[in-house]
Structure 1
């Protein structure tokens, strides 16, 4: 009987743990802008608030064994926004490749869209993160 009681008592605790993990993952999924697809949101590292800027699409191709990326940033608001961004290139185990890019500044007009482009520094890069900081007006 004791074993049976221990298992019955453990079951609600396990269910609570699963529920907590599910809620945590749902909260993480809601951190990105709803207009940003989940696959793209996984590649974006937002520093601060998005302030009406959404990365709507990201195209990544390998040309001559080097990764090339284009990302479309859309301003969902009516006021112009200043976006600071850089690409961080990663190898197959997640380590940064190269010295890293410097921050670039770009204005995205109200209800407008801008495309940013970058090329990996070496063929060792197999993944990337788009780091962004959007200035509030």
Structure 2
């Protein structure tokens, strides 16, 4: 298995951050043009990985849906940090902190409009680690 870690700076706002390029580069290099599985994992209790269409409004729609499902208010028992921080700890139950993507001939076998994104509602932690692992 080959593995690497990279950092994503999400800033102090809720974000759906495209990481497809980093994933594709690693998959191509680690696979040597072969087949296998790419696992994308964020080792954080408050972030997730999503495979979805980006750039056509879906990323904003996802954030709007998460705001509806997980409002940033005072209802959360996990109450340290910014207002509504507890919702960030519920996020990984809805958007898992991992995704596994087939790699065929050195390329991720994503659908036509699919991208890989880091989903982060936690405005208290602007830097995230993403671990990519390739199993041939």
Q: TM-score, normalised by structure 1?
A: 0.41
Q: TM-score, normalised by structure 2?
A: 0.41
Structure with greater strand percent: 1
